[in-house]
Chain A
Amino acid sequence: MTIDLRLGAATAPASLPEPFVSWFAERGWTPRAHQIELLGRAAAGRSVLLIAPTGAGKTLAGFLPSLVDLAVRGKRRPGEAHRGIHTLYISPLKALAVDIERNLSKPVDQMQLPVALETRTGDTPAHKRQRQKLKPPDILLTTPEQLALLIAAPDARPFFEDLRYVVLDELHSLVTSKRGHLLALGLARLRSFRPRLQAIGLSATVADPDALRRWLVGQRPAGAMADLITVEGGARPDVSVMDSQERVPWQGHSSRYAVPEIYETVKRHRMSLIFVNTRSQAELLFSELWRTNEDNLPIALHHGSLDVSQRRRVEKAMAESSLRAIVATSTLDLGIDWGDVDLVIHVGAPKGASRLAQRIGRANHRMNEPSKAILVPSNRFEVLECRAALEASTIGAQDTPPLVAGALDVLAQHVLGSACAAPFEAGLLFEEVKSAAPYAELHRKTFDRVVDFVATGGYALRSYERYARIRRTADGLWRVAHPRVAQQYRLNVGTIIEVPALNVRYVRTGSGLVARGGPMLGRIEEAFLETLVPGDTFLFAGKVLRFEGIRENECFVSNAPGQDAKVPYYGGGKFPLSTYLADQVRLMLADPARWKALPEQVADWLRLQADVSVLPKHGELLVETFPRGNRFYMAAYAFEGRLAHQTLGMLLTRRLERAGARPLGFVATDYVLCVWALADLGSMFRRGKPSLASLFEEDMLGDDLDAWLADSWMLKRTFRNCAMIAGLIEKRYPGQEKSGRQVTVSADLLYDVLRSHEPDHILLEATRDDAASGLLDVRRLAEMLSRIKGRIMHKELDRISPLAVPIMLEVGRERVDGEAGDALLSEAEQLIDEAAGRR
């Protein structure tokens, strides 16, 4: 096979060689057009992005160029040196790599191809890793973290010298995270080993395919792109919003009202996949469904905190189609086709059009039949959101988030890894890094600061020269200063920071802490467990459990009867409403003609709002003020997602405080922000003291934001992650003793000291960059403030409006978050005084 390296050369349709032709024929299959197309482009030396829906034979398409090439290349002759890896496959999930190995070895065996196929993950035993280094397989299936380790090894170059293809699976999910940044840097390194390396990206439909096309190839020249092959989805999915006969609640996320109807729907289908947004909702819905399950239908639960063996059992039962329904979170989002699912039920709003499309794709692996999905809103605002998502699905709108610039903490990790592999010259490494799309805009000065950080911490007080981790020697190359550095790098590689969690282990009732060795149910976050006392009950793994106590890294539980079980909460995992859907909801509110598509009870709600208050026009921000009890409320209908609303709430309360409004608190949902105060907010705004325009002035993102950020627990949490990724402090792994608290230094303390002594330090810069798009969503808030300038509508009411009811029901129900430490201590202190009759 010849390789045409002229860029952009027209590619003749590739023809499939034997034994592939026969293999397809024997199965009565015809190679799909995109599979042949991809083969042709690959043969022409091009990198390719393949965008295809589930069930389109994406995986086979991605591997076909490798298999054909390897079939032609033939076996290694005896005595010939071992060849390096030919094809590297990278997946976001270990399980996916294992699954692909299984699926791919079928055609390889059936065609008797001379292809060695192996996985390498965190679970691969050391002796196998050793062997892989000496005798590399032709195709290696692995994860981004393992790639980082492989390229940081001194023998990386010979290992990858023969590499021809990199296949990147589920690319759309990889590129949006820091894992994607690390992977992009790894890919740049592979390209410098093998300039002709071709990347094949496999992705679901995204909003901006060009960004992924750039991501796949070296940015020399800047803007270079991989070829694009798009497979149109087959039949349009059949999506509907459940038109419940029950009353849709004002607020909440439990969807309890719809459980009987969900159950009836499950009964009418072969196998239903029921998606929810959080693990807590999964536990709740699962237990509600079983309470209704009079027919004892096999209904299973699947989420990321359950024990692996439990999850594998559910997946197997699914593949065998022996279940009728599976309640699942996003852990089932990725990858594999699952048995005979004929219905997706999405409980709670999907938060994004593309997310919904990807989940619906699960429902059917024959791409020419329409997938069927039902959306079940859990409250009235979600009805609007579900309707918007349905319409987006009809027109195929996409709202995957835009890619962000490469993170500096990840770059620091990569720089250290580079030194571990071989001494490097800063200028050359900089050029290599810039060839990775996320770092294409990186400045040399910033890069040099990162190198300085890796070497001595990058502090203005240059006191760590003697402890440098890497040093520049006389030949101008940066070298690792001590063998221990490479060891530390290997222990801390990767960008995934685990939330501290404990194993949940079952003991028999009454055996207390004495017995050990019951089955493991999964893992629960420490932050929830530490709020329990023995005897408390909670819902987990579909059971009501009694908390018996904690010993070392395990939480002991026993079976418990009971109704009032708590539901564990899990940090993260909550996606904010996408900007696209938010905008669609605003459009819908502004246009009464579109209310006809809504359930009658929801349309009535909006009509009532129009009568007693007003509905905002598209592009306007409606702010209502009204008194209630002895307080004054302000509801801002911004629809910018919970995170941006929380940030806005923090900033507005500061400003109101200064204006003398004596604010008392706020609560934020995806749709609305509500602030309450002792002073009459309505009359203050009416008199322009302060005016709403000045209250919502963009300058709040300056000093106010900085001042608040200084102590924000969210920023501290972000800093902690950056510090671990950048190698400033050790990563903690599950199972490490927490009595280490006394000895290790906490990231919070480092943050406080660094912030007061060197606020411009590069790690604080990385932290602020992260927070802007992460926990604080400052970017989105900034866009909103600029959009609504001069378009704020104030409606002063004498009582609560229909639109405000949902948020008012949330007031006081929110779990108290980070900042309130002193207030909670003060409450605890008073308890004693009260008991002693002193108050």
Chain B
Amino acid sequence: MSLDLESCTDDERPTAIVIAGEPALCDRRGALYFPGHGLLCVSDMHLEKGSSLARRGYLVPPYDSAATLIRLEAAVAKWRPRIVVSLGDSFHDCDGAGRMPDNLRAGLAALATGRDWFWVAGNHDPQPPAGLPGETVNAISLGALTFRHHPGPGASDGEIAGHLHPGAMIVQRGRAVRRRCFAADGRRLIMPAFGAYTGSLNVLDRAYAGLFRRDGFMAYMIGAQRIFAISGGLLRPG
């Protein structure tokens, strides 16, 4: 693997980790890159969540898909991956792909051109996104790694999953700081949600019970300038 970390500006500098023996880089935008496979992974983009809320009467700014895709484009431009995996809940609902404005659909199609693009099925979007390139699958295996949307029960070596939208909280000098994070224990990793309008769930919530070993559990919290590797023992619930 060859990487020129020096050429990265501060906020571009990724955090290097190892999952089930596979080296990976956490990108501050919320994406994960496996240099050994040329694979870029994002999860829970929830595209068109804005219009989904609008349909229910809350007219939130309609720019979330654009904002999410701009970030995705930047990550793709940075890592030039051979393979892109969108790890489920790529769209907020089943007809999300159909509602997305044409220019964004075209942009997404362009992004997928010249590389392998996988849509992993999620609970929000079990069907393939209509009219977009890429292959819809339930899971992908590559080397020691398995990519699926919903984390499997119990410890699971080499699993990269999403769905839970991990976030973490620390308390320092009397103040709580809450951020999205990559949650990992060296064997498996759960991806932060990539979408512009996606919230997060604390990694100490009972929804994560049994997924991680206590030993070596880390939250890679996404700060304003870079990623901070915080040991599990320092995290707080809430």
Besides A457-B60, A757-B63, A828-B234, 5 new A-B residue pairs in contact (Cβ under 8 A), listed by A number: A530-B176, A530-B238, A756-B67, A820-B175, A828-B228
- A14 an interface residue at 8 Å Cβ cutoff? no
Contact B201 A745 (CB under 8 A): no
- By beta carbon, the residue of chain B nearest A749 is B197
The listed residue (A527, A738, A761) touching B61 by CB distance below 8 A is A761
| Alpha-carbon separation in the docked complex, A826 to B224 (Å) | 11
* Closest CB in chain B relative to A401 CB, distance in Å: 30
Contact A464 B62 (CB under 8 A): yes
- B236 an interface residue at 8 Å Cβ cutoff? yes
| Alpha-carbon separation in the docked complex, A817 to B199 (Å) | 22
Q: Contact string, A526-551, partner B, CB cutoff 8 A, digits 1/0?
A: 11011101000000000000000010
- B114 an interface residue at 8 Å Cβ cutoff? no
- A798 an interface residue at 8 Å Cβ cutoff? no
Stretch at the interface among B79-87, B105-113, B149-157, B166-174: B166-174
Contact A822 B225 (CB under 8 A): yes
Residues of A within 8 A of B223 (CB): 821-822, 825-826
Number of interface residues of A (CB under 8 A): 55
- By beta carbon, the residue of chain B nearest A730 is B58
| Alpha-carbon separation in the docked complex, A738 to B177 (Å) | 16
The listed residue (A467, A482, A753, A822) touching B64 by CB distance below 8 A is A753
- A461 an interface residue at 8 Å Cβ cutoff? yes
- By beta carbon, the residue of chain A nearest B167 is A741
Contact A828 B172 (CB under 8 A): yes
- B36 an interface residue at 8 Å Cβ cutoff? no
Residues of A within 8 A of B187 (CB): none
- A485 an interface residue at 8 Å Cβ cutoff? yes
The listed residue (B205, B228, B238) touching A826 by CB distance below 8 A is B228
Residues of A within 8 A of B51 (CB): 463-464, 467
Residues of B within 8 A of A756 (CB): 63, 67
**Shortest Cβ-Cβ A-B pairs, 4 listed:** A457-B59, A757-B63, A824-B172, A825-B228
- By beta carbon, the residue of chain B nearest A531 is B171
Q: Is the interface of A mostly helix, strand, loop or mixed?
A: helix
Residues of B within 8 A of A832 (CB): 229-231, 234
- By beta carbon, the residue of chain A nearest B59 is A457
Q: Contact string, A744-768, partner B, CB cutoff 8 A, digits 1/0?
A: 1110011011101110010000000
Q: Contact string, A232-271, partner B, CB cutoff 8 A, digits 1/0?
A: 0000000000000000000000000000000000000000
A interface, CB within 8 angstroms of B: 456-457, 459, 461, 463-464, 467, 469, 482, 484-485, 488, 526-527, 529-531, 533, 550, 711, 727-730, 738-739, 741-746, 749-750, 752-754, 756-758, 761, 815-817, 820-822, 824-829, 831-832
- B196 an interface residue at 8 Å Cβ cutoff? yes
- B53 an interface residue at 8 Å Cβ cutoff? yes
Residues of A within 8 A of B174 (CB): 531, 815-816
Q: Which of B192-238 contact A (CB under 8 A)?
A: 196-201, 205, 221, 223-226, 228-231, 234, 236-238
- B101 an interface residue at 8 Å Cβ cutoff? yes
The listed residue (B61, B66, B169, B205) touching A750 by CB distance below 8 A is B61
Known: A750-B197, A824-B177, A825-B170. A742 touches B60 (CB 8 A): no
* Closest CB in chain A relative to B118 CB, distance in Å: 24
| Alpha-carbon separation in the docked complex, A484 to B58 (Å) | 11
* Closest CB in chain A relative to B163 CB, distance in Å: 10
Contact A758 B49 (CB under 8 A): no
* Closest CB in chain B relative to A553 CB, distance in Å: 12
| Alpha-carbon separation in the docked complex, A749 to B165 (Å) | 15
| Alpha-carbon separation in the docked complex, A821 to B101 (Å) | 35
Residues of A within 8 A of B101 (CB): 461, 463
- By beta carbon, the residue of chain B nearest A827 is B172
B interface, CB within 8 angstroms of A: 49, 51, 53-55, 57-64, 66-67, 101, 165, 167, 169-177, 179, 196-201, 205, 221, 223-226, 228-231, 234, 236-238
The listed residue (B53, B173, B201) touching A824 by CB distance below 8 A is B173
Most buried by A among B66, B201, B223: B223
Known: A753-B197, A828-B234, A831-B234. A463 touches B62 (CB 8 A): yes
Residues of B within 8 A of A743 (CB): 199
Contact A744 B170 (CB under 8 A): no
Residues of B within 8 A of A484 (CB): 57
| Alpha-carbon separation in the docked complex, A822 to B179 (Å) | 10
- By beta carbon, the residue of chain B nearest A467 is B54
Residues of A within 8 A of B63 (CB): 459, 461, 753-754, 756-758
Contact A757 B199 (CB under 8 A): no
Contact A757 B170 (CB under 8 A): no
Most buried by A among B61, B174, B236: B61
Contact B57 A457 (CB under 8 A): no
The listed residue (A461, A529, A749, A817) touching B196 by CB distance below 8 A is A749
* Closest CB in chain A relative to B201 CB, distance in Å: 4
Contact B173 A741 (CB under 8 A): no
Contact A741 B199 (CB under 8 A): yes
Residues of B within 8 A of A752 (CB): 67, 196
